[in-house]
Structure 1
Amino acid sequence: MSDAPTVAVFRPDDDRLERAVDLLSELGAEPVADPMLAVEPTDATPRTDAEYVIFTSKTGAELVSEAGWEPDGETVCAIGPATADALREEGYAVDIVPEKFTSSGLVAALEREIDGARVEVARSDHGSPVLLEGFEDAGAYVHETVLYRLVRPGGSGESAELAAEVGLDAVCFTSSLTVEHFLEAAAEAGVREAALEGLADAVVGVIGEPTAETAAERGIDVDVVPDEATFDALARETVAATSARKP
C-alpha cells in the first residue's frame, strides 16, 4: 500500500490538469484529479476604446486569440506569469505583470497611472470584484467583458466523496469557484457535512486570500496560502505540509 498522500486537484480538464497531476506526482503525492471547472466561451472580445486591457487567466488569453482580437496600442496587463506566457504564446505583447500575482497586486501596480483612463477587464463570469472596485477607486472608467462562463462539469465530485470517507490527505483549491463547486458536488451526493468533516482532518491549500475567505465563509479551515499565487507554489507547500503531518 502506498504511503503517498492523496491530494485532490480541481483544475479544468485540459493541459492544466495534466500538468497539475504530473507536478503532484513528482512531489511524491497521489493526485486525485477531479475537475471542478469547465469553460463555456462567449466568443466576446475586449472593447476597442480601452487604454488598458486586463487579462486574468490563460483561458482568457487563448479565447481572445481564437475570437480574433487584435490590440491597437492598448497597455496589455496580465495578472501573473502564467497568463502573461499564454498571451505571448498567442502573439500578444504584455506590458505589465504585477509583482504580486493577485487582483489586489494588479490594482497596486496600476492605481497611480489609471486616473481618468478607460480600463477593460476581460475575464470569466466569476471574477472577483476586487479588480473592478480597485480600478474605480483609482479613478478609472472600468468596463468588464465576460470572455467565458465557468460551470461545474458533469461527473465531478469523486474528491467530495473521498473526503467524506476520510480518504483525502489534502486538497488544492485554485479559486473560490472550486470551493463552491466541491461543496455543491458533496451536497448532490448527500455527503456535504461528512465532506466538511473530512476536510477538517486534511491539509487544505488555497491559491490566494479571496479563495481562503470563501473557504472560511463555508466552514472550511485553511492550512496553506502560498505567498506566490501560482499552482506550483500551492502544490509544493500543500504537499510539504501534508508530509510534515504524517507520522
Structure 2
Amino acid sequence: MIAVFRPDDGRLEAAVKFIESLGADALGDAMLEVRPTGTAPREDGDFTILTSKTGVELANQTGWNAKGTICAVGEGTASRLRDFEYPVHRIPDEFSSAGLVEELAADVDGARVEVARSDHGSPVLTDGLEAAGAYVHETILYELVRPEDAGSSAEAAAAGELSGAIFTSSLMVQNFLDAAEKRGLRSEALAGLNDAVVGVIGEPTKSTAEGLGIAVDVVPEKADFETLARAVIAASAN
C-alpha cells in the first residue's frame, strides 16, 4: 500500500486515482489543510514571486492584477499562472527557494520584490533576496495546518502495512510524525516507514525527512508528483 498525503481539496483524490491507475493500492491521508487568508499580492513590486499552484489560484480569486516581472518557482506554478492568463517572465533552473535566489540575485539590487506564498515558506528565499539588495515584502496567501483527523497512514505504517510513502513537502513529513505522536505511535510509525520505500520531492524535503530519522529512498530529478509516484511504486515492487 502506498501512502499519499496531499490536501483534501481534489488533489488527494486525484493522487489516489493516479496511484491506483498504476496498479498499486493507495492510502490517502491528508496531512495539510489549506486555509486561505483572502489577501492579495501587492501590485507595486518590481518583481512578484509565486511559489505554488495553490498560491496562484488564491491570488487569482482575489482579483490580483499582475504587474512587473512575474516569477514562478517551477513549471507547475508557471503553468497555473498561464492558465489564468498571467505572464511568466522568470523560472529558475532549480525549482526551489535557493534556485529562485540564484535566478534573481543579479537583478534585484534596489528592487521591490513581492513574495506571495503560504505561512510556511522557507526563509531561504526572503533572506537570500534581501542579501542581494532587494526590498522584500511577503504576503501570506494561505495557512497550512494539519487536519485533526489525519493519521490513518501512521497507524498503517506502525502495523507494517505500507510498501511506500510519498511526501511532497517538508511540512507533510513533520505532520505525519506529529499525527503518529498524537496516537502514541511515533517510534512504531517511524520504524514502519523505514521498512517502506520513501519518496520525496526536492532536497529540502529530503533534508527534513533525514533529520527526523526517516531514510529517503527516492528523490526524482523531475520535481512533480506523477514522476515521484511512478518511482516509488517501481521501487516498492522490487
TM-score range, shorter chain: over 0.9
Corresponding residue for 2:34? 39
Further displaced range: 7-16 or 97-106: 97-106
Query: What's the CA shift for 1:29?
Result: 1.6
In 1, distance between residues paired with 2:172 and 2:55? Answer: 18
SS in 2 for 1:121: strand
Structure 1, unaligned stretches of length 5 or more? 1-5
- Name the residue aligned to 1:3: none
| 1:59 alignment counterpart | 54
Q: Tell me by how many angstroms 1:11 deviates.
A: 0.6
- Where does structure 2 lack aligned partners over 5 or more consecutive residues? none
| 1:116 is the counterpart of 2:119 | no
Partner of 2:3: 8
Task: Give the percent of matched residue pairs that are identical in Structure 1 and Structure 2.
Answer: 56
* 1:18 equivalent in structure 2: 13
Aligned equivalents of 1:205 and 1:243: distance in 2?
Answer: 14
Alignment partner, residue 176 of structure 2? 182
Task: Determine which of 92, 101, 113 is the counterpart of 2:86.
Answer: 92
Work out whether residues 220 and 227 of structure 2, in 8 Å CA contact, stay in contact via their aligned partners in 1.
yes
- 2-side partners of 1:202 and 1:103: how far apart? 29
Would you say 1:216 and 2:197 are equivalent positions?
A: no
Q: CA offsets per residue over residues 37-63 of structure 1, 9 Å max, x none?
A: 111111111123211111111111111
TM-score calculated relative to the size of structure 2:
0.95
1:191 corresponds in structure 2 to 185
Q: For 1:229 and 1:159, how far apart are their aligned partners in 2?
A: 23
Who is 1:28 aligned against?
A: 23
Moved over 6 A (4+): none
Secondary structure in 2 matching 1:127: coil
1:239 to 230, 233, 237: 233
Distance 1:111 1:27 in 2: 41
* Alignment partner, residue 165 of structure 2: 171
Identify the residue that residue 154 of structure 2 maps to in structure 1: 160
Q: CA RMSD in A?
A: 1.3
State yes or no: 1:128 paired with 2:115.
no
Counterparts of 1:20 and 1:84, CA distance in 2? 21
Distance 1:103 1:222 in 2: 21
Q: Which amino acid aligns with 2:73?
A: I
Tell me the alpha carbon deviations over residues 202-224 of structure 1, each in whole angstroms, 9 at most, x when there is no partner: 11111111111111121111111
Which secondary structure does the structure 2 equivalent of 1:227 belong to?
coil
SS in 1 for 2:107: coil
Give CA-to-partner distance per residue, 1:154-198, whole Å, 9 cap, x none.
221110000000100110111111011111110111111100010
Residue 114 of structure 2 aligns to a residue whose secondary structure is: strand
Whether the 8 Å CA contact 1:35–1:156 is kept in 2: the answer is: yes
Partner residue of 1:81? 75
Paired residue type of 2:109? D
Distance in 2, Cα, partners of 1:180 & 1:124: 16
Please, which moves more after superposition, 57-66 or 231-240? 231-240
Asked whether the 8 Å contact 2:46–2:113 carries over to 1, the reply is yes
Tell me the residue number matched to 1:107: 101
- TM-score of the pair, normalised by structure 1: 0.92
1:207-244 C-alpha deviation (Å, 9 max, x unpaired): 11111111112111111111122112211221122122
Structure 2 letter corresponding to 1:58: K
TM-superposition CA deviations, 1:138-163 (whole Å, max 9, x none)? 22111111100001112211100000
- Tell me the CA shift for residue 137 of structure 1: 2.3
Deviation sequence 1:89-137 (CA, Å, 0-9, x none): 2231111222222222222221221122111110000011121122122
